Structure 1
Amino acid sequence: MIAVDNLSGVESLGSVDYEPVWMFYCKNAFNESIHVSDRDIAKLRINIGPVGSGTRTQALNIFKLNGLNGDAPNLLGLGNAEGVDALVRGEIDAVILVDGFDSPNMQKLIRNPDIKLTSFTRADAYTRLLPYFEEVSAPMGGFDLGKNIPDHPIQLISTTTNLLIDNRLHPAIQVLFLEAAREINGNKSYFSKSGEFPAYMNTEAPLSDEAKFFYEKGTPTLMKYLPFWLAEFLERMFFLLLPFAAFAYPVIKSIPTYRTNLAKKQINSIYKELDKFEQNTIQTFDPNRRSEYIEVLNEMERRILRSKAAKLTTAECYSLRSNIEFIRNALEKQIIYKGREG
């Protein structure tokens, strides 16, 4: 686990595995009849890893919470492998490791009958005070049922292995990292369930936008069916063209409406012309000009039939032609203009 509080430009793709904090001690360091706590172990001659290591950082954080001095002379700075060997030889009393269950160092200590593993009975308190810690546990016999190792339930606190990236890393590469993490770390392990990782569990570094999308929506759909390069290209093009489509859609949608409105405007123009013709004819009707009047109406109808409005606004065209026909019949039969004839 790496502290990133003071780093800028760093984002997280999430956690990919548990790395518990293990605290081992020599069996003969305490009377077997007493309960041994992590505070007691911290006062022994204990190796907490070299300066600058993640193990030492976590050990000092734990000691600080317990009000213990991080500069005490009993705190040694050997490497993990050196510390484990020193503990096995009896040269030191205890060791703190931050490592996976399957690591050689862990297996070497777990199966040594002269070495004991401390249970963090206050694990819940640690996870509340240091939010990047998770609580994990091992049941009685969980390491070796035949030998009943451990001989009682063990509570542990665990950091998580995190994928940290430069926030300028291309989104497509981020997706590839997450896919690889799912493939490699998504299987069941001693402390994790199948499909538990990758997951955003450590809140020290902000989660990248691409990782947020990955955890919420899963693998981009196109990547399930197309080669990566093509799926990525289409995905990027979709998001690039989406704002344009949002702008263009109402414009495109309005094109048919626009043409229809023009056609209706043309129909209305002829309606006005027809109304003006009728009013003038009523006022100045001359029976000798009846054929002339009818020809004017015929020309109006021909204009309608030649226009685009006849195809776009069929109902309105038929209505207009019906009105023309009505006036034409009235002229021929002289219904409206009765009494006007000289």
Structure 2
Amino acid sequence: MRRLLNDLKIMLLANFWLIPVIALLVGALFYFVAPPPPMHAKMATGAATGGYHAFAERLRDELAKEGFTLELVESRGSLDNLGKLLAGDVGLALVQSGQELTLSERQRGDLFGLGVMYREPVWLFVRTPVTFQRLSDLADLRLAIGSDGSGTQAVIGALLAANRIEEGAYPENWQRIGGSRAANALIAGELDAAFFLGPAENALIQRLAAEPELRLESLNRTRAYLARLPYLSAMEVGEGMLNMPMDTPAKDIVTLGPVATLVANEDFHSSLTPLILEAARKVLENGSLLDPPDSYPAAPPRSLQTLDEAEYYYNKGLPILQRYLPFRIASLADRYIILAIPLLVLLFPLFKAIGPLYQWRIRARIYRWYKHLREIDLQLYKGEWPDDLDAEIERLEQLESEMGRIEVPLSYSNELYQLHVHLRYMIERLRTAQKRRQA
């Protein structure tokens, strides 16, 4: 056992040079590898009472289970969210589909669609005496079309424009208000009708659906709108879907609406994509009143470029390691495994050379003694005796004594003993030469 430990010690000392080489390669790996993704992000959500904010709160709570902090930033709506993304104030935002079309091509090139989170129906609530067939019928009514910069006003503006009702020609009795302000005015009788945008489960929509003096109207001519506004989709709302006791709506209706899209900018760390999308999937897995379970998230609109990580998620699901490991560990493993491959490629020939280099270094401890023996042998061959044979013999005998302190592995002992034989042989030759000189 002691001999084995000694051999191991000799091997380690002989290959000590490998330590700085491997340390240099590993250091280069950690230097050039991208840093781990941040476990924090900011997300623009819209008003605190809106559907975007409600969804973002659930997403934040789900991400917190993975140790990820999602900071919610309130805004005035989709257009404001886009502005915050382009300004770099946030890395993520919920944006109403179609709003990205208001940007220049260069601006859209700075944004990435992560996925569609859910559909956003347009709800037209009117007071019970009001009759409605087409949007033009609203001209004489006190109507709320959404606040400036909101997604509601953007969609309603597009629907009105399709009817050749341009923004500059809106009746004076139409008001640019939305949300709770419009709902309160409608319930109080200060408005005849109002448009709202958001999920069926939204507290504001549910409040309006419970009001006995309000009626939910169907948006007719949906095919005509979809042909002109392809970023919208038609949604069927069954009788009593919003509120069964109040039978809201009182009959099956059809409405239109955009989709809520999660958008990121260039500051967003792309490796966070599967973490965000998986959290969204868990939030949305049970579906909603209008969306079946496991319908969302879905691939984002084609008007936005998609991150490769998002494409992978929608085609194959989570990366393999993230299916079994916490995100933080799996993310690090993914990055270092990929970069470890070129490191192994470099180390393979290095480790392959260890054997020959080790043999050379061990034998060098023995063979360096042969240099002096060879010089003496050449002198004897030429008949040139060393000047002081006594001193030379004494020197070789001293070398023979020092050889006892040479440490080599057991497998190389035969070469050490051969050196002993050759050294003794040369000493005997010098003594023979000394006798001849004395004679």
TMscore range, shorter length: 0.5 to 0.7
1:45 is aligned, of 126, 130, 142, to: 142
Q: Which runs of 5+ in 1 are unaligned?
A: 253-342
Following the alignment from structure 1 to structure 2, what is the Cα–Cα distance between the partners of residues 25 and 48? 13
Following the alignment from structure 2 to structure 1, what is the Cα–Cα distance between the partners of residues 143 and 166? 13
- Deviations along 1:273-298, one digit per CA (max 9) or x if unpaired, are xxxxxxxxxxxxxxxxxxxxxxxxxx
SS in 2 for 1:29: coil
2:126 is aligned, of 22, 25, 44, to: 25
Following the alignment from structure 1 to structure 2, what is the Cα–Cα distance between the partners of residues 87 and 229? 49
The answer on whether the counterparts of 2:145 and 2:174 sit within 8 Å (CA) in structure 1 is: yes
Following the alignment from structure 1 to structure 2, what is the Cα–Cα distance between the partners of residues 161 and 142? 21
Match of 1:223 in 2: 322
Deviation at 1:122, TM superposition (A): 2.0
Identity rate, percent: 28
Compute the TM-score of the two structures, normalised by the length of structure 2: 0.51
Residues 229/111 of structure 1: CA separation in 2 closer, same or farther (3 Å cut): closer
Following the alignment from structure 1 to structure 2, what is the Cα–Cα distance between the partners of residues 146 and 87? 21
Q: State yes or no: 1:78 paired with 2:177.
A: yes
Residues 236/85 of structure 1: CA separation in 2 closer, same or farther (3 Å cut): same
The answer on whether the counterparts of 2:201 and 2:288 sit within 8 Å (CA) in structure 1 is: no
Deviation at 1:240, TM superposition (A): 4.4
SS in 1 for 2:309: helix
Match of 1:194 in 2: 293
SS in 2 for 1:211: helix
Match of 2:213 in 1: 114
Q: State yes or no: 1:67 paired with 2:164.
A: yes
Deviation at 1:215, TM superposition (A): 0.4
Following the alignment from structure 1 to structure 2, what is the Cα–Cα distance between the partners of residues 208 and 135? 27
Aligned length: 246
The answer on whether the counterparts of 1:37 and 1:118 sit within 8 Å (CA) in structure 2 is: no
The answer on whether the counterparts of 2:322 and 2:331 sit within 8 Å (CA) in structure 1 is: yes
Deviation at 1:128, TM superposition (A): 2.9
Deviation at 1:52, TM superposition (A): 1.2
SS in 1 for 2:249: coil
Following the alignment from structure 2 to structure 1, what is the Cα–Cα distance between the partners of residues 227 and 300? 14
Following the alignment from structure 1 to structure 2, what is the Cα–Cα distance between the partners of residues 152 and 112? 16
Match of 1:263 in 2: none
- Deviations along 1:202-252, one digit per CA (max 9) or x if unpaired, are 33322222111110110111111123233222323454467x59xx7xx99
Match of 1:171 in 2: 270
Match of 1:280 in 2: none
1:101 is aligned, of 171, 175, 200, to: 200
RMSD (Å), alpha carbons? 2.7
Deviation at 1:112, TM superposition (A): 1.9
Residues 148/229 of structure 1: CA separation in 2 closer, same or farther (3 Å cut): closer
SS in 2 for 1:173: helix
Residues 239/193 of structure 1: CA separation in 2 closer, same or farther (3 Å cut): farther
Deviation at 1:55, TM superposition (A): 1.0
- Deviations along 1:78-98, one digit per CA (max 9) or x if unpaired, are 232111111112111110111
Q: State yes or no: 1:129 paired with 2:228.
A: yes
SS in 1 for 2:220: coil
Deviation at 1:189, TM superposition (A): 0.6
Q: What amino acid sits opposite 1:219 in the alignment?
A: L
Residues 56/195 of structure 1: CA separation in 2 closer, same or farther (3 Å cut): same
Residues 147/29 of structure 1: CA separation in 2 closer, same or farther (3 Å cut): closer
The answer on whether the counterparts of 2:121 and 2:255 sit within 8 Å (CA) in structure 1 is: yes
Residues 153/201 of structure 1: CA separation in 2 closer, same or farther (3 Å cut): farther
The answer on whether the counterparts of 2:239 and 2:253 sit within 8 Å (CA) in structure 1 is: yes
Following the alignment from structure 1 to structure 2, what is the Cα–Cα distance between the partners of residues 43 and 135? 27
SS in 2 for 1:155: strand
The answer on whether the counterparts of 2:117 and 2:261 sit within 8 Å (CA) in structure 1 is: yes
Residues 20/165 of structure 1: CA separation in 2 closer, same or farther (3 Å cut): same
Residues 55/149 of structure 1: CA separation in 2 closer, same or farther (3 Å cut): closer
Match of 2:73 in 1: none
SS in 1 for 2:335: helix
SS in 1 for 2:121: strand
Following the alignment from structure 2 to structure 1, what is the Cα–Cα distance between the partners of residues 313 and 218? 36
- Deviations along 1:140-184, one digit per CA (max 9) or x if unpaired, are 232344443322111011212111111342222222111111111
- Deviations along 1:301-327, one digit per CA (max 9) or x if unpaired, are xxxxxxxxxxxxxxxxxxxxxxxxxxx
Following the alignment from structure 1 to structure 2, what is the Cα–Cα distance between the partners of residues 201 and 129? 20
Q: What amino acid sits opposite 1:90 in the alignment?
A: G
Question: Counterparts of 1:1-342 in structure 2 under 5 Å?
Answer: 1=78, 2=95, 3-5=99-101, 6=103, 7-8=107-108, 9-30=110-131, 36-41=133-138, 43-71=140-168, 72=170, 73-240=172-339
Following the alignment from structure 1 to structure 2, what is the Cα–Cα distance between the partners of residues 66 and 111? 31
SS in 1 for 2:215: strand
Q: Which runs of 5+ in 2 are unaligned?
A: 1-77, 79-94, 350-439
Compute the TM-score of the two structures, normalised by the length of structure 1: 0.65
Q: What amino acid sits opposite 1:175 in the alignment?
A: P
